[in-house]
Structure 1
Amino acid sequence: MITIDDTDRRILVELQRDASQSLDRLGDKVNLSRNACWRRIRALEAAGVIKGRVTLLDADRLGLSLTVFMQIRTNAHAPDWLVRFSDATKSMPEILGVDRMTGDLDYLIRARVRDMADYDRLYQSLIRKVPLSDVSASFVMEEIKETTELPL
């Protein structure tokens, strides 16, 4: 873990809100020159704190209106199975996140699809690629909060 001071934290908060803003605008917000901002951003990138910069899209406007959480249980815990599972989920663009869990659940998958038929195609594709002992799904009825901003 690296040491992040208050100025770094303010820069990170601003970049999380809008990574496309100019260095001049960012500098004004955090009371630094554009060059000082640039140096700090480069240092944060080099340290791995800033992993990348992206454009956030509106999934509904792109026809991907159904969010599904797939709860996965498996009897297979061998390293080769995990590699197959990891490769399979990483190869499927509908899958936005995969987490290994504690408790009853082995894995939780978050995916974005067009509709139920699209979800079924995703499900069928996944079970063809890797054996699973149990898959259940929950569908989001209302998204109350969605953010990529970390609480700094």
Structure 2
Amino acid sequence: MPDAIDRELLRLLQQDATLSVAALAEKVNLSTSPCWRRIQALEDSGYIRKRVALLNRAPLNLGIDVFVFIKTNEHNDVWLQDFSDAIADMSEVMEAYRMSGDVDYLLRVVVEDIAAYDRFYKRLVSRVRLSDVSSGFAMEQLKYTTELPL
């Protein structure tokens, strides 16, 4: 379990993964070498999966979030593997969850427009048997963060 210094390093890296080890060390009151060792240990133990750049969707013309609610009549390992393989191949799928309750799976899909979503939908239903698919288009994003609460 990370201690207070490790949690602070994780918090800082979530805010800006481009910070140098020297800058991070200064912020957590460590010298550079122990700070670097802590970051390496956090990576090795799986607390840090990867470091990425978060892109601005607007200039990329990817402004539409679609929440896709999926029901299936098939609840077996073969179907689940086929479904997982299908969505893994679809770059529009940003998140996918197996749910409890009335909906079996929830996808968050990012596309440029309704026509792009229709193409995605047709590819999805051609690859996997689904009993019901419904979609909700986000009208406004009120909050978005990648920063986990530490």
Q: What TM-score do the two structures reach when normalised by structure 2? A: 0.98
Partner AA of 2:146 in structure 1 = T
Q: Report the Cα distance in structure 2 between the residues aligned to 1:33 and 1:111, rounded to whole angstroms.
A: 43
Q: Report the Cα distance in structure 2 between the residues aligned to 1:122 and 1:21, rounded to whole angstroms.
A: 37
1:141 is aligned, of 139, 145, 148, to 139
Identity %: 51
Q: Per the alignment, in what secondary structure is the counterpart of residue 83 of structure 1?
A: helix
Q: Report the Cα distance in structure 1 between the residues aligned to 2:31 and 2:119, rounded to whole angstroms.
A: 52
TM-superposed CA distance for 1:37, in Å, is: 1.1
- What is the RMSD of the two structures over their aligned residues, measured on CA atoms? 0.6
Tell me the equivalent position of 1:69. 67
TM-superposed CA distance for 1:56, in Å, is: 0.3
2:13 is aligned, of 7, 10, 15, to 15
Q: Per the alignment, in what secondary structure is the counterpart of residue 97 of structure 2?
A: strand
Tell me how many residue pairs correspond in the alignment: 150
Q: Report the Cα distance in structure 2 between the residues aligned to 1:111 and 1:35, rounded to whole angstroms.
A: 41
TM-superposed CA distance for 1:150, in Å, is: 0.3
TM-superposed CA distance for 1:47, in Å, is: 0.6
Q: Report the Cα distance in structure 2 between the residues aligned to 1:56 and 1:19, rounded to whole angstroms.
A: 10
Q: Report the Cα distance in structure 2 between the residues aligned to 1:11 and 1:75, rounded to whole angstroms.
A: 45
Q: Any idea what the Cα deviations from partners look like across 1:39-90, whole Å, max 9, x if unmatched?
A: 0011011111111100000112211010000000000111111000000001
Q: Per the alignment, in what secondary structure is the counterpart of residue 60 of structure 1?
A: coil
2:83 is equivalent to residue 88 of structure 1: no
The 5-angstrom pairing of residues 45-60 of structure 1 reads: 45-60=43-58
TM-superposed CA distance for 1:7, in Å, is: 0.2
Note the residue ranges of structure 1 that are not aligned, 5 or more in a row: none
Partner AA of 2:9 in structure 1 = I
Partner AA of 1:63 in structure 2 = N
TM-superposed CA distance for 1:34, in Å, is: 1.4
2:113 is equivalent to residue 150 of structure 1: no
Q: Per the alignment, in what secondary structure is the counterpart of residue 58 of structure 1?
A: coil
2:118 is equivalent to residue 120 of structure 1: yes
Tell me the equivalent position of 2:4. 6
Note the residue ranges of structure 2 that are not aligned, 5 or more in a row: none
Q: Give runs of ≥4 in structure 1 deviating > 6 Å.
A: none
Q: What TM-score do the two structures reach when normalised by structure 1? A: 0.97
Q: Report the Cα distance in structure 1 between the residues aligned to 2:57 and 2:138, rounded to whole angstroms.
A: 13
